[in-house]
């Protein structure tokens, strides 16, 4: 199929620079789409499997190569709607958004400054940190409904936001195009200090010097996944170059050429041992891409 009419196409590329684990899987077609019309045409014309990739910061590329297209949305607009409300394209990263908002003394997203995702991925996962999450800011989400190929506006109440979950994740029916966010008035100097404090805390507790995709497992009710992994003596345990971090047991890091399969095998070993020893079933926070 001729994909050039929808956007820029890269063929037979390594995905290493498109996932934060730096897994070196191959991709047959990587298509960057920068207009909604082109996306609508693509979805209209192409009925086989494809994958929407954000910044690749919550995925494990399990296969050595992917024959189906990866679609990257280059929707990077940040538009003011009214005093406290902005429309933000799905491809925007938190750092860029936060800086833009400070020009208007708006903020509230300081918790997201260390999250290397796109607004699309952040809404899909209802990402959060430090007792805040994106759902607290969403007014509505603009989507392409794959069922009828119509563009729709979904109000926050209908987004099914829960802990690291949403209707977008549950149904896989929608492509997120962007969202209207309601921001808070902030003192920019104080907000910047808060960001610095958050980043310092992250650096102290997380292995940011190595490629990873953030927390591996969800915290089980009343416990911490990292504690369970640690008491089962997995710290520094590895399969090839996929290591359980010494610094934070709920992180798997790539110390060189870890494959997605290495990471998945390590995850399965951990799950099995924690189940056998502690009778707790650990659930993944990251997503395995088959």
Ligand X SMILES: Cc1cc2nc3c(=O)[nH]c(=O)nc-3n(C[C@H](O)[C@H](O)[C@H](O)COP(=O)(O)OP(=O)(O)OC[C@H]3O[C@@H](n4cnc5c(N)ncnc54)[C@H](O)[C@@H]3O)c2cc1C
* 215 labelled catalytic: yes
Tokens of 78: 């940040």
Interface with ligand X (CB under 6 A), residue from 122, 179, 183, 228? 122
Q: Does residue 166 interact with ligand X by CB under 6 A?
A: no
Sheet (strand 138-145) strand order: 78-82, 85-89, 174-182, 138-145, 150-155
Q: Does residue 31 interact with ligand X by CB under 6 A?
A: no
Interface with ligand X (CB under 6 A), residue from 113, 140, 166, 212? 212
Q: Does residue 217 interact with ligand X by CB under 6 A?
A: no
Q: Does residue 125 interact with ligand X by CB under 6 A?
A: yes
- For the chain, the straight-line distance linking the first and the last C-alpha, in angstroms and rounded, comes to 22
Which own/partner contact pairs does 195-198 have at CB distance under 8 Å and 24+ positions apart? 195/98, 195/110, 195/113, 198/110, 198/111, 198/113, 198/114, 198/129, 198/130
Are 243 and 252 in contact, with CB atoms under 8 Å apart?
A: yes
Q: Does residue 140 interact with ligand X by CB under 6 A?
A: no
Q: Does residue 42 interact with ligand X by CB under 6 A?
A: no
Tokens of 23: 């897994």
Q: Which is nearer to ligand X, 56 or 226 (CB)?
A: 56
Q: How far is the CB of 20 from ligand X (least distance, A)?
A: 4
Window 9-28: contact mask with ligand X (x via CB under 6 A): -----------x--------
* 140 labelled catalytic: no
Distances (CA, A) of 107 to 5, 32, 47, 91, 110: 38, 29, 40, 19, 7
Are 209 and 15 in contact, with CB atoms under 8 Å apart?
A: no
Structure letter (DSSP) for residue 149: T
Determine which one of 25, 113, 140, 215 is catalytic. Answer: 215
Determine which one of 164, 184, 218, 227 is catalytic. Answer: 164
Task: For the segment 72-111, give every residue that binds ligand X (CB under 6 A).
Answer: 73, 90
Which window, 97-105, 127-135, 154-162, 252-260, contacts ligand X (CB under 6 A)?
127-135
Q: How far is the CB of 127 from ligand X (least distance, A)?
A: 3
Interface with ligand X (CB under 6 A), residue from 15, 23, 27, 56? 56
* H/E run at residue 131: none
Q: Which residues contact 220 (CB under 8 A, 6 or more apart)?
A: 228, 280, 281, 282, 283
Residue 123 buriedness (CB in 10 A; 0-12 / 13-18 / 19+): buried
Q: Does residue 59 interact with ligand X by CB under 6 A?
A: yes
Q: Does residue 135 interact with ligand X by CB under 6 A?
A: no
Catalytically active residues, by annotation? 164, 215, 285
Residues of this chain that bind ligand X (CB under 6 A): 20, 51-59, 73, 90, 114-118, 120-122, 124-125, 127-129, 168, 175-176, 208, 212-214, 287
């Amino acid at each position: 199929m001729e994909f050039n009419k929808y956007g820029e196409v890269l063929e037979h590329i390594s995905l290493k620079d498109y996932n934060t684990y730096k897994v070196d899987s191959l991709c047959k077609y990587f298509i960057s789409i920068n207009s909604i019309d082109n996306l609508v045409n693509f979805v209209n014309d192409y009925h086989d499997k494809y994958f929407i990739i954000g910044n690749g910061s919550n995925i494990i590329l399990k296969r050595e190569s992917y024959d189906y297209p990866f679609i990257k949305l280059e929707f990077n607009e940040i538009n003011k709607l009214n005093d406290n409300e902005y429309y933000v394209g799905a491809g925007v990263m938190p750092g860029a958004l936060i800086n833009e908002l400070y020009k208007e003394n708006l903020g509230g997203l300081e918790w997201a400054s260390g999250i290397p995702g796109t607004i699309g991925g952040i809404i899909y996962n209802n990402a959060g940190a430090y007792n805040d999450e994106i759902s607290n800011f969403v007014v509505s989400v603009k989507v392409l409904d794959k069922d009828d190929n119509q563009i729709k506006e979904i109000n926050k109440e209908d987004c099914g936001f829960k802990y690291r979950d949403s209707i977008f994740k549950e149904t896989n029916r929608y492509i997120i195009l962007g969202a209207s966010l309601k921001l808070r008035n902030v003192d920019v100097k104080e907000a910047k200090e808060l960001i610095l404090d958050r980043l310092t805390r992250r650096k102290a507790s997380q292995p940011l010097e190595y490629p990873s995709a953030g927390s591996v497992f969800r915290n089980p009710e009343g416990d911490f996944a990292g504690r369970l992994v640690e008491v089962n003596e997995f710290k520094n345990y590895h399969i090839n170059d996929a290591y359980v971090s010494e610094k934070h047991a709920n992180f798997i890091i790539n110390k060189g050429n870890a494959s997605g399969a290495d990471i998945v095998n390590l995850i399965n070993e951990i799950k099995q041992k924690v189940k056998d020893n502690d009778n707790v079933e650990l659930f993944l926070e990251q997503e395995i891409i088959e």
